[in-house]
Structure 1
Amino acid sequence: MSPTDRSLHVLIDPLVPAEDAELIASVPPELLPPPEGPVADRPAWAGRPT
């Protein structure tokens, strides 16, 4: 199966503010962590915590 044959579903917590949810939903699939994990605690590209 090629990557174009698969669907990607991202669940966003309903408590996330709408503006943040739109930003999360706009991230291209190739930048999202793999659904099978593992996921780093905080990716380097995310910057320093505020």
Structure 2
Amino acid sequence: MALATLGVVVLDCPDPRALADFYAEVLGGTVTSDDGTWVDLEVPGGRPLAF
């Protein structure tokens, strides 16, 4: 029986858009949200990443 489920992996960084763009290229993901301070990346077949 699972007690918790991992929803998203959050990475702290000084430039979230640059790191999200890097991981989008490496993993083939798509940036789904960018408000300037918080960026979300959907990764096909994996957990979402947030920066």
- Give the TM-score, by structure 2 length: 0.24
Higher strand share: 2
- Give the TM-score, by structure 1 length: 0.25
**Which protein has greater RCO, CA pairs closer than 8 Å, 6+ apart?**
2
Higher helix share: 1
